[in-house]
Amino acid sequence: MILMINKVEICGVNTSKLPVLKEKEMRELLLQMKNGNTTCREKFIRGNLRLVLSVIQRFNNRGENADDLFQVGCIGLIKSIDNFDLSQNVKFSTYAVPMIIGEIRRYLRDNNSIRVSRSLRDIAYRALQVRDKLIAKNNKEPTVSQIAEELKVPREDVIFALDAIQDPISLFEPIYHDGGDAIYVMDQISDSKNLDDSWLENISIKEAMKKLNDREKLILNMRFFDGRTQMEVADEIGISQAQVSRLEKTALRHMRKYV
């Protein structure tokens, strides 16, 4: 595993010497970039590379190569720059962070896989049988906690095992679909290391959350600031994980649109 927090040079870039742009300066550069000033574009990109570094730290415990994630994150940054609308009066970081995260997640979903033990595969098959039985009994999708209780195994084992029926096993493949929404193992696993490291992302989300309704705020607070998984949120507020996934996506769309 590469500890990105302590890595000084990524892709030949000395991260300790990266510039930091003030908000006013960024807006001025953006205005000039819209008029085709390529020098300003290069300066703006370099001035926001720390934003990419902040985002990739949330993936620090996944054993990914820092250089690869940095390059993918930079693609997300450039897409953010190309699509950013100055007339919306939104901070660039508020708009860019979700796009950088999305670019990295797509990369991981397409490229990364892990293998799990045979015992987890056994749990996976049993979990699917229990899931079908509970659906037939209660006429609704069971929670992971209910499946784990029925199997008498830890909930975390069920979470990993449900993704163990494909070969190779990917953390970014859907466990199952409900109402058209894919539920990924990545969404089930909380990241305790993310609570302090992604400070810039947290600031951006807090700023944007002012426009959300109470339920959307609650879900995003639990997901991004408390480090809860979608399943944990679903269990606590009494809805399905698929509903949490839909509400989370809607809330993020609202933040980008209205803030």
Q: Which residues pair with 169 in a beta bridge?
A: 114
- Residue 8: predicted pLDDT: 46
CA 117 to mean position of chain CA atoms: 26
Looking at residue 21, what is its pLDDT? 82
Among the listed residues 137, 141, 229, 232, the one whose alpha carbon sits nearest the alpha carbon of residue 189: 229
For residue 150, what pLDDT is reported?
92
| C-alpha span between 43 and 107 (Å, rounded) | 26
Q: What parts of the chain have a pLDDT lower than 50?
A: 1-8, 114-116, 164-173, 175-178, 185, 188-204, 258-259
Helix (H, G, I), strand (E, B) or coil at 150: helix
Q: Who contacts 180 (Cβ-Cβ below 8 Å, separation ≥6)?
A: none
Residue 228 to residue 120: CA distance in whole angstroms:
23
CA angle 100, 104, 107 (to 5 degrees): 145
CA distance linking residue 230 with residue 241, whole number of Å: 6
pLDDT score for 149: 92
Would you tell me how many other CB atoms lie within 10 Å of the CB of residue 163?
Answer: 23
Tokens of 99: 């796009």
> What local confidence, expressed as pLDDT, does residue 59 receive?
72
Residue 243: the pLDDT is 87
- Identify which of 245, 220, 239, 241 has the alpha carbon closest to the alpha carbon of residue 231: 241
Residue type, 200: L
Structural domains of the chain in order of their starting residue, each with its CATH number: 4-111 (1.20.120.1810), 118-169 (1.10.10.10), 194-258 (1.10.10.10)
Task: Supply the pTM of this predicted model.
Answer: 0.45
Identify the burial level of 14 via C-beta atoms within 10 angstroms of its C-beta, where 0-12 means exposed, 13-18 middle and 19 or more buried: exposed
